[in-house]
Amino acid sequence: MADDAFYYAFEERHRGSRTLIKSRLSIYLPFVNPLMEFYSRPSAVDLGCGRGEWLELMAENGFNAKGIDINDRMLEVSRSLGFSVEKMDAVEALEALNDNSQAVVTAFHLVEHLPFETVDKLVKEAQRVLVPGGILIIETPNPENLIVSSTNFYLDPTHLRPIPPQLLSFLVEYHGFFRHKILRLQQPIDVLTTKTTLWNVFSGVSPDYAVVAQKGSSDAGMLSKFDSIFDISKPVGTKIDQMALKYDEDRTAEKSQLLKALTEKLDQASNAIALLSSRLAETESRLQRAEDDVKAARERAEASERRAEMERERVGRLELELNAVYNSRSWRVTRPLRLVFHQARLIKGQGFAARTKTIVKSVAKPILVRSITFFDSHPALRSRCINFIRKFGLYDNTRAFYRRVMYGRQEPQPAAARPVTDIELQQLSPRAHRIYLQLKEAMERHGRDDCR
């Protein structure tokens, strides 16, 4: 077994400070303070008093408290704080006390160090030494907390086995206590108000619990003072089934929220699909209309092609018929007659004189053009012809007739030529100046020819 110094150091590390433990133990004051109304400076014994936190609370609230422990280092600390303590076995200390001598018997984190037979005897002896209406408080680690029962309980090498709340509560009932209440302690403050995780199920159950039992009394008035504090309809702490149920409820709520979100997304997707379906239907409708239009256009094109083919065939037939007419003997025989009828219609429309001039012009103009072309290609002959016409005085009449045939009534007037200045001639390039002189010479020569 570990020595006293080791266990004291271990308690200092893992039990918590005196201030923390004292604040935790104050939860029991409402169970014990009513006794002050019925007993003058009532006695209290704390089994396994340790560093004396409960002894200090008892003294502050008017109790005559005594501590029992077997650890010399713990007893030394308690004595240094002025508390009445004694080194002694817990059961033996109870056996040494008189019947109905103690108002309060407490054992904080003691019974997990003892064999069950010893715990049984401790509860039995506590029932004997308590005054009527006296209070027994036993606090121990809660094995309902899975982390405690599987790990933390065995952190203390002096622990033997965890004791379930149902067993300890049955034990006090079995040994004749009037009533009892289970207090589950030290759970996180917000464990029941925040979202529960799987870790909360494992560790969020109250890590400690206490069984607070009251000895019966014939004084009903005294017992009634404790009715509200022992009301079992107002549970203290968290149980494993609470945490498991809350975990399920939170998961159900999460699933409901997730389902709601998924439903909303599904609705959005459905709306989107419906919109896309509508657009697809509209697109398919437009596509069908376009296909119908293409089909109709194709049919119209095919009909037009058929009509065109029919027209080509008809034109071919007409051409064949026309060629047959043109090649026929009757067409050749009636050609003079058709020309006469044609000229008669033109004379009727234009008048005899105008039509005669037109005929003469249309006949004479090609002859004159060919003659001029011929004479231009034979300059010597052209010169002799002009001299011959001049000799007989017919030059002016011949010239006037030529111009009437070629140009009609109005003789074309040449555009007035602006004389070129010396400055402009100087600005010409040598090649342009040479071309200008050649053109000028040709025009002068042409003028001389006309005069001849």
Per-residue pLDDT tens digits for 69-83: 999 999 999 999 999
Band of pLDDT at residue 194, cut at 50, 70 and 90: confident
Q: How large is the average pLDDT for residues 40-51? A: 95
Higher pLDDT, 102 or 284: 102
Q: Please say if the pLDDT value at position 340 is more than 90.
A: no
* pLDDT given at position 448: 62
Choice among 12-16, 38-42, 314-318 with the minimum mean pLDDT: 12-16
**pLDDT tens digits, 294-307:** 999 898 989 888 88
Q: Please say if the pLDDT value at position 410 is more than 50.
A: no
CA 436 to chain centre: 87
Q: Please say if the pLDDT value at position 386 is more than 60.
A: yes
Q: Which of 95-104, 272-281, 406-415 has the highest mean pLDDT?
A: 95-104
Q: How large is the average pLDDT for residues 312-317? A: 86
* pLDDT given at position 192: 79
Phi, psi of 134 (to 5 degrees): -65, 160
Q: What percent of the chain has pLDDT over 90?
A: 46
Q: Please say if the pLDDT value at position 94 is more than 90.
A: yes
Residue 91: count of CB within 10 angstroms of its CB: 20
For residues 152 and 108, what is the distance between their CA atoms, to the nearest angstrom? 17
Band of pLDDT at residue 189, cut at 50, 70 and 90: confident
Q: Please say if the pLDDT value at position 418 is more than 70.
A: no
Q: How large is the average pLDDT for residues 110-119? A: 97
For residues 59 and 252, what is the distance between their CA atoms, to the nearest angstrom? 50
Q: What percent of the chain has pLDDT over 70?
A: 89
For residues 177 and 313, what is the distance between their CA atoms, to the nearest angstrom? 129
Burial label for 209, CB within 10 Å (0-12, 13-18, 19+), is: buried
Higher pLDDT, 132 or 316: 132
Band of pLDDT at residue 105, cut at 50, 70 and 90: very high
Strand order in the sheet with 102-108: 85-87, 64-69, 43-47, 102-108, 130-141, 208-214, 179-185
Band of pLDDT at residue 242, cut at 50, 70 and 90: confident
Band of pLDDT at residue 420, cut at 50, 70 and 90: low
Band of pLDDT at residue 376, cut at 50, 70 and 90: confident
Choice among 137-146, 237-246, 263-272, 336-345 with the minimum mean pLDDT: 336-345
Choice among 329-333, 342-346, 403-407 with the minimum mean pLDDT: 403-407
* pLDDT given at position 1: 44
Q: Please say if the pLDDT value at position 361 is more than 50.
A: yes
* pLDDT given at position 419: 63
* pLDDT given at position 118: 97
For residues 25 and 210, what is the distance between their CA atoms, to the nearest angstrom? 11
Q: How large is the average pLDDT for residues 94-123? A: 97
For residues 449 and 382, what is the distance between their CA atoms, to the nearest angstrom? 10
Choice among 20-34, 41-55, 233-247 with the minimum mean pLDDT: 233-247
Q: How large is the average pLDDT for residues 192-196? A: 82
Q: Please say if the pLDDT value at position 87 is more than 90.
A: yes
Q: Rounded to 10 degrees, what is the CA torsion of 239, 245, 250, 256? A: -170
- To 5 degrees, how large is the angle CA 98–CA 100–CA 101? 60
Strands 208-214 and 130-141 come out as antiparallel
Choice among 5-19, 34-48, 155-169 with the minimum mean pLDDT: 5-19
Q: Up-side HSE of residue 70: CA atoms within 13 Å toward CB? A: 11
Q: How many angstroms separate the most distant Cα atoms in the chain?
A: 191
Higher pLDDT, 24 or 9: 24
Band of pLDDT at residue 14, cut at 50, 70 and 90: low
Q: How large is the average pLDDT for residues 245-262? A: 89
Higher pLDDT, 201 or 63: 63
Higher pLDDT, 320 or 428: 320
Arithmetic mean of pLDDT over the chain: 86
Choice among 31-35, 116-120, 271-275, 430-434 with the minimum mean pLDDT: 430-434
Concatenate the DSSP letters of all residues of 97-152 into one string.
Answer: SPTT-EEEEEEES-GGGS-HHHHHHHHHHHHHHEEEEEEEEEEEE-TTSHHHHHTG
Band of pLDDT at residue 360, cut at 50, 70 and 90: low
Band of pLDDT at residue 411, cut at 50, 70 and 90: very low
